[in-house]
Chains A and B, each alone.
Chain A
Amino acid sequence: MSCERLRSLWETFLDGELPTGQVLELQAHLDACADCSESLAVSDAIRRTARQVVYDDAPMTDAFRARLEAALVSEARDEHDELERARRRRWLSRAPQVSLGAALAFAAALLLWLRLDETKDGDGQELARSGNPADRELSASRMLGPQELLDLFIDYHTAPPAPEVTEPKLVPELERDVGVKVPFPSLAAYGAEWQGGSLVHVPRTKPAAYLRYRTRDSHSVTVYVYNASRIPLHASLKQRMFREEPVYERSWRGYSIAAQLRQGVGYAVATDLDEARSAELVNAITRSVVQH
């Protein structure tokens, strides 16, 4: 093997990619040729030194490693949440048709119960005012202002989001996002038909469940279910007693909204009807929740 030939092969040799036969030939030449041998030694020296200086110039630190591990965990959580959302969307979109019967049975039972209830104590007009402004300010101060919250809920009523759920059986699924149990209240007794449900965004906290109804005489009714400790809508409203229970209500921008609380869960009804009518609807809902 000539020096020239060796110089065309030595890199491949140093890279460990030279076939064995050629390695032996090359080795034989190196043993006999000082120039080639030295030249190869320099290539090897450059490689060794490069490895050392490059690594010395990029030392690993615990801080950097910790930052990466944290970034990976956060990425993994995002990915997990995304998969979870996708899974839920798939499941919701499969919308089994089987629950119609169950929904009708439930509606019938509710209707019956509401009628019984009305015959028992139909004097819903007994009103007692006992507002407590101090309570209101205290609970509303953390998130949106009382008026902003009121505006938000009326806004959603006037511009309803596209329904994500149109199958009553699937309404309880909204619980995962809302963070509280979401019942499926029937307002059939009030001549209102359910049109669909979705989630509405509330700044700095979990969303509220949004259930939309329409009465036979073309009034829209929105029912909200939400975590009342995070969304203090009732603090934006005036409190009064209705069938011996506090109900919160208010007229705002030509609409009315009424809310009641049950074990930390808020139920609110927004309509273009009057306050008393909204209060009656919300009370029907909270009562049905206690029943079921």
Chain B
Amino acid sequence: MTAEPEPSPHEAESPESAAARFTDEFLPNLPALLAVAVRLVGSRAEAEDLVQDTLLKAFRSRKQYRAGTNPRAWLMAILRNTFLNGYRRRNLERRVFDGPDADALAPGWVGASSLRAIRDPHSGALHNLLEAPLLTAIDELPPEFKMTVQLADIEELSYREIAESMGCPIGTVMSRLHRGRRWLRARLLQEAEAVGLVEEPAKPSPAEATPPVELSRYRGKKGAL
């Protein structure tokens, strides 16, 4: 009888080098993850926890990342799932969309002169009086709309990448973008009027008077009644 040779131990990479490789590849996306997380959970401390959970999950499942695809889209998908599984704050979502003036917040027809007044002609950005209101308006969007708008407008992911991150069809991405952006625009025009940048009040048109509401929220509401 002869002894079988011992299977040689794996030439596995050291934990430190595995972590460093992951860091090199994925941590350039840290500011983006943090920016999305802060908007989703509303507090810096919780956002940091959410990002840390997200990255540890991503590290554990790093073999599932398909090389050549956008690492940011992959990380955002994990961030979203992590958020849905424990960081969601329902009371925040309810704040505006259940409010009495929710339906009033839709843009009517607005002339070019009014529109011109809300932006800075030199920088191409919004008038700086509207910076804080824009952040507030983003925060008021339901999470799925907020994240979709953020991934498109801030992270510049493609529709397909957003659809993969959000686990929904491209049509849903486009519809959320459309409604979310219309909402932001309406809120900004309302604010512009309040601070006197725009003189003529924006009149809501009936067709655009529906603020974006998540289907799950609608169902929850129906069930509660």
- Which residues does A use to contact B, with CB under 8 Å? 11-12, 15-17, 34-35, 37-39, 41-55, 57-58, 60, 64-65, 67-69, 71-73, 75-77, 79-80, 83, 87, 91, 96-101, 169
Q: Is the CB of A49 within 8 A of B134?
A: yes
Q: Is the CB of B2 within 8 A of A98?
A: yes
> B65-89 toward A: CB 8 Å interface, digit per residue (1/0)?
0000000000000000000000000
Contacts of B123 in A (CB 8 A): 48
With contact pairs A69-B23, A75-B60 given, residues A96 and B116 touching in the complex (Cβ less than 8 Å):
no
Q: How large is the interface on B (under 10, 10 to 19, 20 to 34, 35 or more residues)?
A: 35 or more
Q: Counting CB contacts under 8 A, is B213 at the interface?
A: no
With the chains together, A97 CA to B4 CA distance in Å? 10
> B127-161 toward A: CB 8 Å interface, digit per residue (1/0)?
00011101100100000000001101110001100
With the chains together, A174 CA to B65 CA distance in Å? 36
Q: Which residue of B is nearest A47, CB measured?
A: B153
Pull 7 A–B residue pairs with CB atoms less than 8 Å apart, ordered by A: A45-B119, A54-B38, A54-B138, A68-B27, A71-B55, A73-B15, A77-B15
CB distance from B175 to the nearest CB of A (A): 11
Q: Which residue of B is nearest A97, CB measured?
A: B1
Q: Is the CB of B4 within 8 A of A58?
A: no
Q: Is the CB of A76 within 8 A of B1?
A: no
CB distance from B157 to the nearest CB of A (A): 10
> B90-129 toward A: CB 8 Å interface, digit per residue (1/0)?
0000000000000000000001100110111001111000
Pick from B14, B159, B184: contact of A15, CB below 8 A: B159
Q: Counting CB contacts under 8 A, is B11 at the interface?
A: no
Q: Which residue of A is nearest B113, CB measured?
A: A38
With the chains together, A225 CA to B30 CA distance in Å? 49
Contacts of B23 in A (CB 8 A): 69, 72
Which A-B residue pairs are the 6 nearest by beta carbons? A76-B15, A49-B126, A76-B19, A38-B112, A45-B119, A58-B38
Contacts of A77 in B (CB 8 A): 15
